[in-house]
Structure 1
């Protein structure tokens, strides 16, 4: 009967969820600048009579307490708030009004879904004991990320949650379906900034220069052996370079070359070893050619770990709510996500919400200028997270608060 109530409430609020999502989509803001977004989310919470506070400048957190007799646990739910520096090309009535900024990763969906979840839980507060700590987190897209900022500011304390749940849209998965992967799910992400300095000169006299262009090209090939020959082949790892600037001209060899790249892996120990290998390799090779090398590694998010027991429970509850046919296994994903910060501190489950239209060509991948998820998934996302929360609270009702 409780699942039926959740489904009915989720269906009833669908028009409101669509309106909220479209407002958020039309007014995106970049990482660490989500001021108007935070104001809007706050206004929605206030309208629901849900207490909350601002923290970490643009973040929002609060607690929704159940009114059922009993001593329940504290659980956490998280949604991210920021948009990307992308000029939107999808034409709609709710197209971004902020030039060059777009919700191309579904964070408008995530915020809307959590607001819907809280609205459902508020309506059912007499049905559960315990506390739901909600986190609207800024700056997921830009390292070091808003999760670290909010954690440092105490979002996981007073009270400390037993576990935390998050969801992320998945355009490759049909709307209505949910994807799970237990254990290591998403990769650590580090940014690499490399400068090779030689001695420039006339292109007609290469014997008189220390050519940073040739050295850099040879070095990029050599660095790939860190993955192909030094990484355990059973361990996912990616080393990619996406920016190479040799600012000479057709007849001038430049003094230096700058290269930007990324290192991603699923193992924190190997991640540290790879950092040292990168530094030693670039320094030794550049020196052997008479050049110098400077490598700056900007450490990003750690590996995201889905705690197996919590993930199994969450999957079971999802099957109860949507049916087994709507739940699928998904592979590891080499993208990064700063929900990973929470997963190193609490038992965590980060699952994927399908947003693909029946006509699959209508949804392009994440981080593209035409990304436009199926809004039919909004009520699924809100209702499912509410149901998972209720089941999670019930399962841990006898667990002492931490």
Structure 2
């Protein structure tokens, strides 16, 4: 097994320029969630060039198998393909050509890396036992999440997957490094939609109206007690409201106020309980003030858990490939990822790929119009993923 490590490193370096070119193509042609038709077609062509037989899944997803020597287990490698509704402001040759759409979360990097890993693994398929499923997933950025749809269509069956690996860009870590955390890593996410209805009128005659702006303000402030006083201090929880529309004027009280927010946590039991507390608080507080509050909770992704035994193997293998100094321990993160569905269905490990330049460039956060990467990360990502896959097959 150890003799494969330098071969994988050499292949990763050999294919790095091609991987960068693939990333540039994907970055220049981003597509929104569940609209990745051209991206899927491109991925399919690249896989067919390797002699593989990809097939569609979850409409705009792509699934392919690399079959090594018979008799081994099956593991899955995942990359997401969708982009975000953001207008890119970077001035680079591979800038997005689709107005208002941008690969601002690094899914172009994920897809290019998995294609690079596939190329390496396909070259070495005579050297390992078992099967590798390549899962190119649509719709990570939009509910219900492409991962859930792929699972419903049986992506983890026939043959049954024993573990799932995925990676995600991390602009806070220099290229050449990766971050890993065992156990509960990322939060569940639920979307909150509130409508507070009262009786609008002239701002100079509040006694004639029932001010929904005042009611909404009380709800927004009071709802924070669900996190500060209802949640155990041992359970990370976040309640944030990011959109408020009270379409009145300086002298006009509106009839209603519309609010959007998010609730996130790392415990499914508390998550369900918090939903009940939030509903009672919003509806009860509005009623006590003479108004009405309608709350819609759109149930989003579950929390993401890196299975400890698998994650320990991934960390050890990453240290072999990159050196211990290039593998760092991550903190919990309250962002959400639909890879969580895979982590709830099979042993899984989701790790972070450093993309920041050593001098601090390419440090813009994901989901911003200036996000970009140090493409030295594309010499790390594919090779590491291929090495992790081969090591994991060998442990079964």
- TM-score, structure 1 length as denominator? 0.97
What does 1:98-247 correspond to in 2, within 5 Å?
Answer: 98-247=98-247
1:24 alignment counterpart: 26
Indicate conservation of the 8 Å contact 2:355/2:362, yes or no.
no
CA shift, 1:362, in A, is: 3.3
2:50 alignment counterpart: 48
What does 1:263-282 correspond to in 2, within 5 Å?
Answer: 263-282=263-282
Question: Structure 2: how far apart are the matches of 1:342 and 1:79?
Answer: 12
CA shift, 1:133, in A, is: 0.8
Do structure 1's residue 3 and structure 2's residue 5 form an aligned pair? yes
Do structure 1's residue 378 and structure 2's residue 378 form an aligned pair? yes
**How many pairs does the alignment contain?**
394
Indicate conservation of the 8 Å contact 2:27/2:94, yes or no.
yes
1:73 alignment partner, SS class: strand
Question: Structure 1: how far apart are the matches of 2:12 and 2:52?
Answer: 18
2:336 alignment partner, SS class: coil
CA deviations over 1:190-210 (Å, ceiling 9, x no partner): 000000000111111101111
Question: Structure 2: how far apart are the matches of 1:362 and 1:239?
Answer: 30
Question: Structure 1: how far apart are the matches of 2:393 and 2:153?
Answer: 26
Question: Structure 2: how far apart are the matches of 1:282 and 1:253?
Answer: 20
Question: Structure 1: how far apart are the matches of 2:361 and 2:343?
Answer: 34
CA deviations over 1:33-77 (Å, ceiling 9, x no partner): 00000000001000111121011111011211013xx52101111
CA shift, 1:363, in A, is: 2.4
Question: Structure 2: how far apart are the matches of 1:362 and 1:393?
Answer: 34
Do structure 1's residue 34 and structure 2's residue 7 form an aligned pair? no
Question: Structure 1: how far apart are the matches of 2:64 and 2:31?
Answer: 22
Q: Please, which moves more after superposition, 356-365 or 193-202? A: 356-365
Question: Structure 2: how far apart are the matches of 1:202 and 1:122?
Answer: 71
**Following superposition, which runs of at least 4 residues in structure 1 exceed 4 angstroms of deviation?**
none
CA shift, 1:219, in A, is: 1.1
2:235 alignment partner, SS class: coil
Question: Structure 1: how far apart are the matches of 2:363 and 2:14?
Answer: 26
Indicate conservation of the 8 Å contact 1:51/1:64, yes or no.
no
2:262 alignment counterpart: 262
2:248 alignment counterpart: 248
- What root-mean-square deviation, in Å, do the aligned CA atoms of Structure 1 and Structure 2 show? 0.7
2:75 alignment partner, SS class: strand
2:283 alignment partner, SS class: helix
1:344 alignment partner, SS class: helix
Indicate conservation of the 8 Å contact 1:172/1:356, yes or no.
yes
Gaps of 5+ in 1: 397-402
Question: Structure 1: how far apart are the matches of 2:361 and 2:97?
Answer: 25
2:71 alignment partner, SS class: coil
Indicate conservation of the 8 Å contact 2:25/2:94, yes or no.
yes
Do structure 1's residue 325 and structure 2's residue 325 form an aligned pair? yes
1:275 alignment partner, SS class: helix
Question: Structure 2: how far apart are the matches of 1:147 and 1:344?
Answer: 11
Gaps of 5+ in 2: none
Indicate conservation of the 8 Å contact 2:171/2:362, yes or no.
no
CA shift, 1:157, in A, is: 1.3
Question: Structure 2: how far apart are the matches of 1:56 and 1:290?
Answer: 47
What does 1:345-360 correspond to in 2, within 5 Å?
Answer: 345-360=345-360
